[in-house]
Amino acid sequence: MTDYWVRPTNGLDAQSGLSYALAKQTTSAGLALLTTAGDNLYLCAEADEEIGGALTWPAVSGTADSRIQIIGANSGGTVDGTQYVIKPSGAWSGTRLMQDSATVTSYWSMKNVDLNASANSQQAANAFGYSNTNANKNYRYFENCWFHEASSHGFINYRGLNYSYKNCRFYNNGGHGLANGASGNLGQSMYVDGCQFYDNTTVGLQALLEYYYISNCEFWGNGEEGFRSNTNSCRFIQLLNNTFYDNGHSGVEISGDPTGLVREFYRNTFVSNGLYGLDEGTGSGDDHQSSHIYENHFYNNTSGESRGGTRSSDIYGNIAGDPLFTDAASADFSLQSTSPLFQGARNSMNIGARGLAAAGGGGGGPLIGGRLVRG
């Protein structure tokens, strides 16, 4: 288990990378050093790094107790939440950030990295992710990572077990913000907590997986749905304390014809979406579905607040009315003190992803009643 370092201004790829003073200059050279479970690569934010081709993650795995980690740090090498910025140096179509072979690799983490696909007025297509539909990439964890400005999807992940995203942003992409799973190559599980999906041309989060756990997230301004799932093979969906605002189609669309699917929608808010707030579809398989729709909020959705053919729904305590966001036009979904979402659910829990604007936590206050992502 070894620590390695990258410094884009003061590093040299001819150096060992074994210390801050002997750092490599490029992420590509740093990645090549990662060979053992527990290895860490620290990317020091001296300057933005422009890359001219694929960054290939080595075909090695960590373990549950010793992940392989890529971690952004400040220019002095301290991990304090400062992001390391990676950009393409021009338009390079089809390039992936992640290792793209059929080799199964597991237990990787990436933290504090800004993957910015814009450069020189050009955009990278699918710049970040991988396209090999037979490539199992398991137990991947992303924290405080941004994926944006790609001409297609911000991050694409066709197959994998147990992906977690915490406090990440997916925005201003020409396709989906985040695309997980593909027809015939279904991923297994995904945990998303505290993330933002906004201003993507199509869907904020598009996923085909067996199990979804999505909490404390905000979806706004996407051209189509905030969240969309085709559920032909899905088994369980839980959406908890999320905000869906001003998406071009429905806030959430669940399509397909599954058997035995359980859906749980707890304390979400659906406001001013172009079709429905929550669209569960009307497939014939609805006979076999079970939906629990508890203490959600619906307001001003163009085609209606919700739609669904589910015949075994358990519906309780949903509310309406102006949510009284602090400034939704500026994407500030924190709550005014008189908002019906503030302590609007049982046990004085909030509805939606934010608390009071003036609450002690600042920036919308603390999240109340949310599920934590598995790290």
Mean pLDDT across the chain, nearest whole number? 84
Asked if residue 266 belongs to a domain, the reply is yes
Q: What does DSSP say about strands 68-73 and 122-123: parallel, antiparallel, or unpaired? A: unpaired
pLDDT of residue 36: 96
Closest Cα to residue 180, out of 151, 214, 149? 214
pLDDT of residue 106: 87
pLDDT over threshold 90, residue 57: no
Query: What's the CATH number where 234 sits?
Result: 2.160.20.10
Question: What is the helix (H) or strand (E) element at residue 314, kind and residue range?
Answer: strand 313-316
Q: Report CA torsion sign: 323, 329, 332, 337.
A: negative
Asked if residue 272 belongs to a domain, the reply is yes
Residue 233 · residue 210 · CB < 8 Å: yes
pLDDT digits (tens, 9 = 90+) for 106-150: 899 999 999 888 764 455 554 455 555 556 678 889 999 999 888
Asked if residue 62 belongs to a domain, the reply is no
Residue 172 · residue 159 · CB < 8 Å: no
Domain count, the chain: 1
Asked if residue 232 belongs to a domain, the reply is yes
Asked if residue 127 belongs to a domain, the reply is no
Asked if residue 233 belongs to a domain, the reply is yes
The C-alpha atoms of residue 69 and residue 38 are separated, in whole angstroms, by 7
Residue 195 · residue 169 · CB < 8 Å: yes
Asked if residue 38 belongs to a domain, the reply is no
Asked if residue 118 belongs to a domain, the reply is no
Residue 167 · residue 143 · CB < 8 Å: yes
Domain that holds residue 236: 162-375
pLDDT digits (tens, 9 = 90+) for 364-374: 444 433 333 33
Residue 244, both tokens? 């869906």
Q: CA torsion 88→92→94→97, rounded to 10°?
A: -20
Q: Distance between alpha carbon 16 and the CA centroid of its chain, in Å?
A: 34
